[in-house]
């Protein structure tokens, strides 16, 4: 990408930032390789002409009733794969994490929404 | 000849040959070897399909076989890790014509520099350096810990070009009593209560770090998702300090206490950054430099290797800047060790290639283990060390194989 190729657009705000995030699945997988001579230099970037647009779509929390607090309070800042990729954790660990998000990180989670969020996390990613 | 544009052709050919694989297949997803380890392969701008850990903010991991293709990690395969809802910053705030880097705070002379002024006003220098996420390999921690569940692909090695951080700091004439330097990028939180991603270094450390303000990576402009148009490159230090889209440097006369220095990105205050699994450290300090790591890259877990033929084992090793002194390889799951040959030295901050010819004679299951030692004599533990944030994994890695 050369700087001169960059598209022009208006000054940004939070909405412009938000507008940038989406998803798409790619179809090529890479498999392991055997020994060959290793070049020092990497190959040139073959995607130089790509637009400044992220893939469309993103994973979201389910529309179920018990996931509603996460749709409301967690999804503002992050996609649901921030949770779906997490390991199983104890109730205590989930409580600590939600509390860290709320009080240390400053996520706008009302105190009365915390128990339902923790319940969802324990049910889906709790240690048995 | 490079094969960056269509790497799968040769791989398919090889797969039909003697090297088999497990865990990876021609598909739109990969399975990392831990629970909830299924990840889609997704194509992002300027990137080949990468392992997506998270969508917003984006975290993309390099497929591990890329580390066997070249010592420098291609820009289109280099990992991506953002923290804030407003990431990556949109093109409109990254316009190279209006972009300015400011140096302010406790300085004698405030600076506001265009990219051109940076380029022309200071000596241009290059360094080959590894960037590695603090939580690279976190998914392998046992017991598991919360955080970004990366495999081994949140690392990469590139040739960075820019100007010395020290030269720019000196040009601003730090005032007496200046204590720390704060670095801020153009990515930002979407909610005002959430702390901006700002990192700090002691001024002395910043002056002596060998850090660069870099606009170029492997001979090209930084990719959008790797910090265009300017980023901090802090060789030997974890990626958390390598602020992307860097636009503000601020000197202060007190200790910075922002969220991303405390409580985030801290390790147990112990020489090995570890505590008893499942316990909390009594004292913590900010994470800083890489420990020693090494990997086998030419074969992946479950590969089948013919007996009686010579197989060239290859991999990489790196550390926080002392440089790699030796790499030892075991082909019998750790019972005996042989010294590997070291490849070209691209500098003490770079991936160092190692190779070892191996002619297996006994059929059956075995495992290859690799361990490196740096020029300070520091090595890697045989058993994993644990900390509650899942940082700095550097256990001797084990790759199970089958000799046919």
Residue A111 structural domain: 65-125
Beta carbons of B263 and A104 less than 8 Å apart:
yes
pLDDT in tens, B311-367: 999 999 999 999 999 999 999 999 999 999 999 999 999 999 999 999 999 999 999
Is residue A46 assigned to a domain? no
In a domain, A30, yes or no: no
Q: Of B12-21, B93-102, B165-174, which range is least confident?
A: B12-21
**Chain B nearest-CA residue for A3:** B96
Q: Residue B263: its chain A contacts at CB < 8 A?
A: 100, 104
- Total domains in chain A come to 1
In a domain, A17, yes or no: no
Residues B265 and B207: beta-carbon distance below 8 Å: no
Query: Which of these, B158, B287, B171, lies nearest to B231 by C-alpha position?
Result: B158
CA B401 – CA B368 distance, rounded (Å): 7
Could you say which DSSP state residue A76 is in?
T
Residue B124's Cβ-count burial label (10 Å; 0-12, 13-18, 19+) is middle
Q: In the A/B pair of chains, how many CB contacts fall below 8 A? A: 266
Mutate to test the interface with B, among A7, A18, A38 (most CBs of B within 10 A): A38
- Single out the residue of B146, B171, B2 nearest to residue A126, CA to CA: B146
pLDDT higher than threshold 70 for residue B301: yes
| Chain A environment of B85 (Cβ under 8 Å) | 17-18, 76-78
Tell me the pLDDT tens digit for each residue of A25-52: 232 233 333 334 566 665 554 444 467 8
Contact list in A for residue B14 (CB cut-off 8 A) is 31, 33-34
Set of chain B residues whose Cβ sits within 8 Å of the Cβ of A126: none
β-sheet with B29-31: strand ranges across? B29-31, B38-42, B50-54, B59-61, B80-81
Burial class (CB in 10 A: 0-12, 13-18, 19+), B95: middle
* CATH value at residue A105: 1.10.760.10
d(CA B146, CA B273): 17
Domains and CATH numbers, chain B: 1-264 (3.90.420.10), 293-403 (2.60.40.650)
A113 min Cα distance to partner chain B (Å):
18
Task: Identify whether A118 is part of a domain.
Answer: yes
Cα distance between residue B129 and residue B321, in whole Å: 9
Q: B54, A79: Cβ pair inside 8 Å? A: yes
Does any CB of chain A come closer than 8 Å to the CB of residue B63? yes
Span A47-102, pLDDT tens digits: 444 678 999 999 999 999 999 999 999 999 999 999 999 999 999 999 999 999 99
pLDDT at A37: 56
pTM as predicted: 0.87
By CA distance, what is B300's nearest residue in A?
Answer: A32
Chain-chain contact of A105 with B57 (C-beta, under 8 angstroms): no
Tokens found for residue B378: 């520091």
């Amino acid at each position: 990408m050369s700087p001169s190729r960059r598209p022009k657009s208006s000054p940004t705000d939070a909405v412009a930032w938000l507008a940038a995030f989406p998803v798409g699945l790619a179809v090529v997988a890479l498999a392991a390789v055997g020994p060959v001579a290793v070049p020092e230099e990497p190959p040139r970037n073959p995607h130089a002409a790509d637009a400044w647009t992220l893939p469309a779509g993103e994973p979201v929390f389910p529309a179920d009733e018990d996931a509603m607090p996460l749709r409301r309070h967690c999804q503002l800042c992050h996609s649901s794969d921030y949770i779906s990729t997490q390991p199983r954790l104890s109730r205590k660990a989930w409580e600590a994490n939600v509390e860290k998000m709320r009080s240390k990180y400053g996520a706008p989670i009302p105190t009365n929404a915390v128990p339902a969020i923790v319940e969802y996390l324990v049910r889906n990613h709790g240690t048995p | 000849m490079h094969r960056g544009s269509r790497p799968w052709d040769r791989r398919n050919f090889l797969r039909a040959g003697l090297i088999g694989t497990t865990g990876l297949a021609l598909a739109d997803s990969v399975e990392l070897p831990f629970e909830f380890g299924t990840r889609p392969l997704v194509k992002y701008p300027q990137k080949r399909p990468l392992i997506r850990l998270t969508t917003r903010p984006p975290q993309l991991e390099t497929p591990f076989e890329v580390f066997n293709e070249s010592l420098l990690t291609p820009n289109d395969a280099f990992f991506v890790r953002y923290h804030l809802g407003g990431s990556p910053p949109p093109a409109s705030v990254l316009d190279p014509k209006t972009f300015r880097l400011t140096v302010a705070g406790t300085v004698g002379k405030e600076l506001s520099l265009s990219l051109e002024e940076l380029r022309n006003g200071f000596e241009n220098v290059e360094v080959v350096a590894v960037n590695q996420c603090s939580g690279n390999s976190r998914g392998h921690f046992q017991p598991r810990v919360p955080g970004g569940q990366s495999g081994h692909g949140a690392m990469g090695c590139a040739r960075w070009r820019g100007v010395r951080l020290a030269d720019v700091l000196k040009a601003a004439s730090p005032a007496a009593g200046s204590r720390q330097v704060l670095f801020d990028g153009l990515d930002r939180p979407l909610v005002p209560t959430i702390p901006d991603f700002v990192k700090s270094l002691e001024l002395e450390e910043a002056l002596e770090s060998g850090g660069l303000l870099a606009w170029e990576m492997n001979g090209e402009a930084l990719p959008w998702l790797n910090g265009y148009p300017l980023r901090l490159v802090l060789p030997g230090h974890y990626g958390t300090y390598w602020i992307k889209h860097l636009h503000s440097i601020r000197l202060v006369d007190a200790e910075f206490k922002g969220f991303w220095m405390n409580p985030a990105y801290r390790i147990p205050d112990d020489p090995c950054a570890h505590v008893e699994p499942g316990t909390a450290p009594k004292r913590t300090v900010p994470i800083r430099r890489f420990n020693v790591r090494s990997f086998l890259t030419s074969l992946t877990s479950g590969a089948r290797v013919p007996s009686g033929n010579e197989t060239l084992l290859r991999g990489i090793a790196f550390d926080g800047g002392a440089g790699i002194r030796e790499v030892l390889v075991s082909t019998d799951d750790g019972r005996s060790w042989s010294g590997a040959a070291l490849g070209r030295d691209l500098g003490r901050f770079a991936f160092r290639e190692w190779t070892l010819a191996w002619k297996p004679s006994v059929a059956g299951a075995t495992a290859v283990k690799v361990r490196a030692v740096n020029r300070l004599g520091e090595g890697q533990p045989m058993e994993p060390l644990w900390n509650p944030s899942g940082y700095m994994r550097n256990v001797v890695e084990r790759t199970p194989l089958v000799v046919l």
